[in-house]
């Protein structure tokens, strides 16, 4: 299930980070299968750099607050 904040995160990954939708789809499937947060999974598979991971978490904390 994709909620509002997940949709915003996916849009951020595509628009700001430049990640391909197919990479995000694979990441979503693996994160569900492995019960791992999507940002950490994308980073651990080398799809995000540590700087992009930091940028993503900064964005996520902004939409939560």
Tell how far CA 9 is from the center of its chain. 6
Chain mean pLDDT for the chain:
92
Tens digit of pLDDT for each residue in 30-53?
A: 999 999 999 999 999 999 999 999
Burial class of 40 by CB neighbour count within 10 A (0 to 12, 13 to 18, 19+): middle
Write down the domain spans for the chain.
4-64
pLDDT over 60 at 1, yes or no: no
Query: Residue 3: what pLDDT?
Result: 65
Average pLDDT over residues 8-27: 95
CA pair distance 30, 9, nearest whole angstrom: 16
Q: Are 16 and 59 in contact (CB under 8 A)?
A: yes
Q: Are 47 and 3 in contact (CB under 8 A)?
A: no
């Amino acid at each position: 299930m994709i909620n509002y904040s997940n949709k915003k995160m996916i849009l951020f990954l595509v628009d700001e980070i430049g990640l391909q939708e197919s990479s995000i789809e694979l990441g979503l499937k693996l994160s569900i299968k492995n019960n791992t947060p999507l940002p950490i999974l994308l980073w651990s598979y080398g799809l995000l750099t540590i700087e992009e991971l930091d940028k993503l978490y900064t964005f996520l904390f902004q939409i939560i607050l």
